[in-house]
Chains A and B, each alone.
Chain A
Amino acid sequence: MKKTASRKKTASRKKTRPAAAAVTGLRKLHLLGAAELSEGEIRFLLSTAKAFAPYVVRGETIPLLQGKTVVNLFFENSTRTRMSFELATRKLAGGTLNFAASTSSVAKGETLIDTAKNIEAMRPHCLVVRHSSAGSPWFLASSVGVPVVNGGDGFHEHPTQALLDVFTMEEKLGTVKGKRVVIIGDIAHSRVARSNIHVLRKLGASVAVCSPPTLMPPLPETLGVDYAERPEGLLRDADVVMALRIQLERQNKMQIPSVAEYSQFWGLSRDRAKLLKPSAIIMHPGPVNRGVELDPEVADGANSVILDQVFNGILVRMAVLAAVCNPDGLRGWLSKGGRRG
C-alpha cells in the first residue's frame, strides 16, 4: 500500500513538471551499471533511442560519432552484443575496433589493466567492455581516462541489455509503470536479470523472478522482487515473460539434474504459455535453446518480441554511445529537432 501511495505522489508531481526536459545527458563519464542510473537518465536514453529509430529504419546515418573510435574489448565470447555495438557505432558514423580475448595478448598473460592501457594509448574515444569477472568495468574505469561502457560483467550487470528490454516492453505495452514482468531462468548467474530488475524497478514496474532454487541468488527478496520456485503461479498476472538462457556450458549436475528436467518444470512450454494473458509478450535475451527455455511455438508465436529486442538493441546502444562519446553533440542534435525524426 505504502509503495503505491508514494508512487502516485511521484507521478502527480511529474505531471506539473515535464520530467523528460530535466535530463539532457548522463552524470558520469561512463555507463557502468543500471543500478547507478537515475530514472531521468534511463528516460533520457530511452527517448534518445526512440528519436534515432526513424533514421535507422530509413538506413540513414546520424554523424554524432564522426571521427571517433569505439573499441569493443570483449574478454568473453559474444556475437550479437558485439555486432550490435559495432552497428550502433557505424550508424553514428564512428569507427570500431574489435578486441577478442581469444586472439589477444591475454592468452600471453597480459593483465586486464595492461591490455586496457595499451589500447587507451591508441587514443580511442570509448571502451565497450565485456568480461567474465564482476566489477571489471569499474576496475577499468578507475584506471583509464576514456569513457567505459559495460557490455556485460560476470553475473553482475548488463545495462544496455536492460535498456533494450525496457525499450521493447514500452514499444509494445506503452509504459512499463505498473506492469508485471516475470523473469524465468538461471537468475543466480544472470547479469541480464540483475540489470533488468534495477531498470524496471526505477520505472515503476513490478518484477518477479523464478528459477530452480539451486539457480536463485542468495536472499532474492533483497533484490526488491517477488520470487517463486515454480513458474505457474506467476504467469497469470504477467504482462511480460522473459526467459533467460540456461547456460549449458556452465551447468553441472549439482545445480540441475538435466536440461530436460529444467525444461519440464521451468520451460515456457505451449501448455504453460496458455496460462498467460493474451496480451502478454514473450522475451528472451538470446541465444534461445529451443525446447529448453521456450518451446519453438512460443518462441516464434505472435506474442514473441525476441527479434524486436535485437533491433532495438542497436537503437539503445546508439543512444548510450552518443551520450558518453559526444554528449554536447547529442544535446545539440536533440534540441534541433532530432526528436521529431
Chain B
Amino acid sequence: MAENKALLIKGGRVIDPASERESLADVLIDDGKIIAVDDPGKIPESRAARVIDAAGCWVVPGLIDAHVHLREPGFEYKETIESGTAAAVAGGFTSVACMANTSPVNDSPYVTAFIMEKARSTAKCRVFPVGALSKGMRGEELAEIGGMISEGARAISDDGGKPVMNSYLMRKAMDYVRAFDVPVISHAEDAHLVGQGAMNESALSSELGLRGNPDAAEEIMVAREVALCRLTKAKVHIAHITTAVALEHLRRAKDAGLPITAEATPHHLTLNEESIRAYNSNFKMSPPLRSRHDVEALRRAVADGVVDMIATDHAPHGIIDKALEFDLAASGIIGLQTAVALALKLVHDGLMKPMRFVEAFTSKPAKLLGIPYGTLRPGSAADIAVIDPDAGWVFRDDVILSKSGNSPFIGWEFKGRARYTLIDGRVVFGSEG
C-alpha cells in the first residue's frame, strides 16, 4: 500500500457555488484531487496524513482571476510570470488569465506557446493566456485566433492595447470566435472620447485642471458590445465596468438573455475619484476612478450578480512608469494580493452574501474561461483557497511579491485574507501547522 499523503482541511465553512454547498464541512484531498466533502467529523482524521485546521475560515475553490497583466515577455522589469503568479497564490488565486499586451504582443501561436512554456517552468499557479484580438493590437486585422487557442489561449482581447474602435472588426471577431467557443473580452472605452483624459470627467477634473475621460466613453462601447452580442450571439465579456449607465445597458442585455458577462475590479469597488486630489499616480487607472454614485451602483451590481465576477486588472508598473507627472504616468495598479480584502468589504458591509462573493471569484470566471476549475466537487482538481474573512492585517510594501509596488493601498488596514492556497492538492501558499 502506498504511503498515505492525503490531506484533510478541517473545521472550516465550505462555500462552493458550483455544488451549491455552504456549510461547515471537512474536505479530504488525495492525489491532487478532492476526494470527499462531508459534514464536520464525518471524515475520520485517520484517513489523512496531514490536517489543516480551518476553524473560523472559509474553504472555497481556488480563486480565478480573469484579468491580469503578467508583462512577460517584454516587460520583465515590471513583472514576470513567476513573480506575478507568486503574488496570485499569496492572494488566494490558483488560476489567472493574462492579457496579451506583452512585447511582442501575444497575437500568434508562437507567443502563446512561449507563455505556456514559461508558465509550465516558472509559474506558481495555472496561467491561461488571453490572445490578442487583432494583429499587434492595432485594431486593423484579426490575429491568428484559432492558432492561439490551439496553444492554450482561453479568450481574446485587445485589452491593454487600444480599444477596438472599428465596429466591423469587433463584429467579425465575435463571429469568428463562435467556431472556438471562447469569449471576446472588451476594454470598453471609446478611444476618441477618452482622448488624453487622465481621470474621470467631472467637477473634480474641472477643478484639478486634468483632462477628463467622460462616462459616455464607456457607455457607448458597452452599448455597442451589447448590440454586437445580440447580432453575433458570441460570448462577450466586458472588462472592468465602472459607470452606472453602462451597468444599466448590461442589466438590460442580460434580461434579454444575451450571452454577455462583466467584471468589476476591487479598486473600482473601493475608491472614487476624490482620491486623485494629491496627484498621486497610484490612483491613475484605466478606466479611471469614477464618482461616488458610480461606485455605489457598481457595488450593488456586483452584489446582485449583474456584474458576474471580480477581476483584479493586476497591472504592474515600475517606478520609471509611475513616478511622473500625473498625466504622463502609466495607468493601472497591482491587485492580486489585495483583491480578497477589498472585495470582502462588500460582505462585511452586509451588501453581499459569502456565497455570491465566492461565485464572483470562482465559478463565474471558470465558466467564462471554460476551464474545469472553480469547484470543490469530488473528483475535481484540489485547487483550494482557505480564507480567513476576519483576519486583520496591514498591507505593507514588504509583503508585495509582485516586482512592482504600484498600489494605492499600501499602509491600509484590512480585514480578511487568504491563509492557504492549494493547487492540485499542494500547499503553494501558507504554512501548515
A residues contacting B by CB (< 8 A) are 35, 111-113, 131, 133-136, 138-139, 142, 153-157, 191, 194, 217-220, 222-223
Contact = CB atoms under 8 A, between A and B. Distances in A.
B325 A136 contact: yes
Mostly, the B contact residues are loop
A219 B203 contact: yes
A155 B323 contact: no
Contacts of A113: 323
Contacts of B207: 35, 194, 222-223
Given A111-B320, A131-B325, A133-B325, A139 B206 contact: no
B325 A194 contact: no
B323 A111 contact: yes
Interface in B157-183: none
A34 B392 CA distance: 41
B202 interface: yes
B203 A222 contact: yes
Given A111-B323, A155-B210, 17 more contacts: A111-B320, A112-B324, A133-B325, A133-B327, A134-B208, A134-B209, A134-B279, A135-B208, A135-B209, A135-B326, A139-B325, A154-B209, A156-B210, A157-B209, A191-B209, A218-B203, A222-B207
A220 B212 CA distance: 13
A340 B205 CA distance: 44
B334 to A, nearest CB: 21
B55 interface: no
Contacts of B205: 217-218
Contacts of A218: 201-203, 205-206, 212, 214
A139 B279 contact: yes
B324 A219 contact: no
B165 to A, nearest CB: 16
B328 interface: yes
Contacts of A142: 278
A220 B205 CA distance: 11
Contact of B209 (A111, A139, A156, A219): A156
Most chain A CB inside 10 Å of its own CB: which residue of B202, B212, B279: B279
A311 B325 CA distance: 32
Contact of A134 (B210, B278, B323): B210
A134 to B, nearest CB: 4
Contact of A155 (B209, B278, B324): B209
Contacts of B211: 155
Contacts of B324: 111-112
Contacts of B208: 134-135, 156
A135 B279 contact: yes
17 contacts: A111-B320, A111-B323, A136-B325, A136-B326, A138-B278, A154-B209, A155-B211, A156-B208, A156-B209, A157-B209, A194-B209, A218-B202, A218-B203, A218-B206, A218-B212, A219-B202, A219-B206
Interface string B264-298: 00000000000000110000000000000000000
Nearest to B326: A135
A133 B324 CA distance: 10
A289 to B, nearest CB: 22
A278 B212 CA distance: 40
A251 B201 CA distance: 20
B203 A154 contact: no
A218 B204 CA distance: 9
B198 to A, nearest CB: 8
Nearest to B203: A222
A163 to B, nearest CB: 18
Nearest to A112: B325
A272 to B, nearest CB: 27
Q: Identify the 9 closest CB pairs spanning chains A and B, nearest first.
A: A156-B209, A135-B279, A133-B325, A222-B203, A155-B209, A134-B209, A217-B206, A219-B203, A136-B325
A160 B206 CA distance: 20
B327 to A, nearest CB: 5
A336 B203 CA distance: 45
A269 to B, nearest CB: 29
Contacts of B279: 134-136, 138-139
A139 B326 contact: yes
Contacts of B202: 218-219
A134 B212 contact: no
Contacts of A191: 209
A186 to B, nearest CB: 13
Contacts of A135: 208-210, 279, 325-326
Interface string B13-47: 00000000000000000000000000000000000
